[in-house]
Structure 1
């Protein structure tokens, strides 16, 4: 039977590799939380031609964030980024994929990323249900924030941690150190306002929520999501160790 044990760990002096997909994107409060724990951030944007490292020996771990592109896009930088995930996987280094980053991990592991069979999206706040496996690791919020039109199947060997109604697979763990989530716990208030303004054209898509529901939902649900993000950072990067014995 799995059991969780909390330990503290001295912060690694090496930076966390942060992979972003737009020129003005930031790691949001995920980056803030990492810096608050003493980590430096090495921010890279592959779509601008910035290369990713050949090894993780100079980094404590990696986070790949979301973006407007698809993991199925034919662009060379998208394919290279998906292939690059083999570096932290092969070296068993901490890796967290958020939204697009999660879908890229799925593609690297041989899984499928595709749109809903009925064209449904998740853009706004939607219910989340943790699995028994997920509950053994941490507490999960009941509502989470989404902004996507594609989902993913569960790769072979992965353990499902949380599920949703429209897109079932919402979070999983692969091996010891690779984690993926479909939703966004990293958004600051300013980021959400920017997404609501620039993404308003998507509110007409099936199952998408209007902008006022995005902002109202933040007042209702963000405290629990923020706490989850903090716990996830600690779990992935070693401050909250999971004992599998």
Structure 2
């Protein structure tokens, strides 16, 4: 049962301007986003990552490369299409304030499982392909590096929220209850019985406790009675 660290990319100018960037090309980190990426890379530098994957978009690759550069051992950033941003179709490039006037906006807020963006992707499909991707990679990491391994994935807000909702046992219609800020860290361990969510939208805590224990193993995945130590 490896540990997965989900990292949302740092801020972009589109984030700052309230524009839905989606899969637009060439959207990189702004100065604040570069600092956020540096900060999260520094926080993860104490954790030897067995694998590092990223959505193929520029802003996530920039974030992931800074994480890789801060690692003590060489780690390659691998592109993972299953973690790419939601395909927002004709909503892409529009201001959020304008999209909030669209009839579909209320469904996005209240029943996201029913949403299909015009000319784009269904949120249910985003959830399915992102969850499949992280669970597939997690199994590969365990086979190659053992159950105590830690790996990281750089992705996008809605994608990470969908993965967290699945790990928390929530219906996709509840995923808007989860906040995932730029540069934040969320952590999941997929145990033998159920996932265990260890951090959500973490922007500053000490993550050194996530480093593999001596011997490389972790407990079986059973939930500790009484909450544990």
TM-score, normalisation: structure 1: 0.28
Query: In proportion to residue count, which structure has more strand?
Result: 1
Highest relative contact order (Cα 8 Å, sep 6+), 1 or 2?
A: 2
TM-score, normalisation: structure 2: 0.29
Query: In proportion to residue count, which structure has more helix?
Result: 2
